[in-house]
Copies of this chain bind each other. A is one copy, B any other.
Amino acid sequence: MNNKKGKKSYYAVIFTSKRTSLEEGYNDASNQMELLAKKQPGFLGLETAREEIGITISYWESLEAIKKWKQNSEHLIAQKNGKEKWYSQFHVRICKVEREYSFSK
C-alpha cells in the first residue's frame, strides 16, 4: 500500500453511508463482505469506522480489480440488500492515491 517514489500507484474506494434502523442481517453481511473482499485479486487493505456516519475505505491495485469486486456475485446480493434494507443513503468515491505519508511513535 505504499506509494513512494518508484512504487506503483493504487486506488482507494471511499464508501460513506448512513444506516437505516434495520439491524437484521447487517453485521453478518458486513463481516462476510470484508472477508470476501480480502480474498479478491488486487485487494490491498480495508479500514472502517462508524459513528454518525460510516466510512469504509478499501484499497486496490487497479480500477479493474475494483470493477471485478463490484461485480462479484455475492457482493451484488449484498449491494441489493444494502439498498433495500440497511442503508438510507451512501456515496462511493473511486480515487487514485497520488501521494501519502505516515507517522508512527
Residues of A whose CB lies within 8 Å of any CB of B are 3, 11-12, 14, 16, 20, 47-55, 57, 63, 83, 87-105
**Minimum C-beta distance from A28 to chain B (A):** 18
Q: How far is the CA of A10 from the CA of B50 in the complex (A)?
A: 24
Contact A102 B91, beta carbon cutoff 8 Å: yes
A55 touches which one: B55, B94, B102 (CB < 8 A)? B55
- Contact: A88 with B105, CB < 8 Å? yes
| Nearest chain B residue, comparing its CB with the CB of A82 | B103
Q: Could you tell me the distance in whole angstroms from the C-beta of A77 to the nearest C-beta in chain B? A: 16
Which B residues are in CB contact (< 8 Å) with A94?
Answer: 97-100
What is the bound-complex CA distance between A96 and B88, given in angstroms? 26
Q: Which of B11, B92, B103 contacts A89 (CB 8 A)?
A: B103
In the complex, are the beta carbons of A92 and B83 less than 8 A apart? Answer: no
